[in-house]
Structure 1
């Protein structure tokens, strides 16, 4: 993926959390392009290139999806199920990024084939450190089928 623009789809309804993610990635120069959507319905429109997201030049496939679980309109677990049942997008890595430590949420997410489950730290420093590590892992160190 050297030289390729890296795309992240951030599905997060909390504007403060979204801002923290985007600022952290920018500060660490990890992601070239973060596409932020605020609810589940919009995430699916983006992924399936519907409505305002129909142009692949302005709505490219993400290299990784950061998905909150508690979302308006369509819940994160339902989005995950739809992603994994779609041949065209099922292989995109999905990282759940949530405040929920509930064992039931973790189990449900993994049963729907997430790639990782991360609980957002409550302190800024911890959150920033996690975003830096996450960015480097998924976007710099991890190898994808399309990697060189």
Structure 2
């Protein structure tokens, strides 16, 4: 018999804020669906290009009131500013550099994997083509990164 677990919350008693940086509406829908099915209380914020992601993280323009995410899911293949450039910007900013960034992309190219880790991605996940496998990948991410891993505290330097 499986005993349902209460929704997980972060160390402050609030839902976990996730920034999903993804330009494919189908992948956004599948990701939201997977999180909805999980047992972790979270809020998924979506930006659809690299420039918008940086605006969200820096609370600029239409994202002036954006919350600081606890974790970022980042696609590599983005318009305006690609995922590598976003990751490089995050790691170069003293207020953002400790944010966990998980690359979630369709690329399984070795050079993309190496580049992401060189830019200090915390993990690299390849999106399965099959929707059921995609949802399972997100659920596995959710179970590990939001239930097991201790996320870093927000440093307001």
Q: TM-score category by the smaller chain?
A: over 0.9
Q: Deviations over 1:95-145 (max 9, x none)?
A: 000000100100111000000000001112211111111012111211123
- Aligned mates of 2:122, 2:64 — CA distance in 1: 26
Say which structure, 1 or 2, has more relative contact order (CA 8 Å, 6+ apart): 1
- Aligned mates of 1:100, 1:22 — CA distance in 2: 21
Partner of residue 75, structure 1: 82
Q: Name which one, 1 or 2, has greater alpha-carbon Rg.
A: 2
Residues 1:132 and 1:49: Cα distance change in structure 2 (over 3 Å): same
Q: Give the TM-score of the pair, scaled to structure 1.
A: 0.93
Alignment check: 8 A CA contact 2:98 2:152 kept: no
Q: Give the 4+ runs in structure 1 shifted more than 4 A.
A: none
What is the RMSD of the two structures over their aligned residues, measured on CA atoms? 1.3
Alignment check: 8 A CA contact 1:31 1:139 kept: no
Alignment check: 8 A CA contact 2:91 2:119 kept: yes
Show structure 2 runs of 5+ residues with no match: 1-9
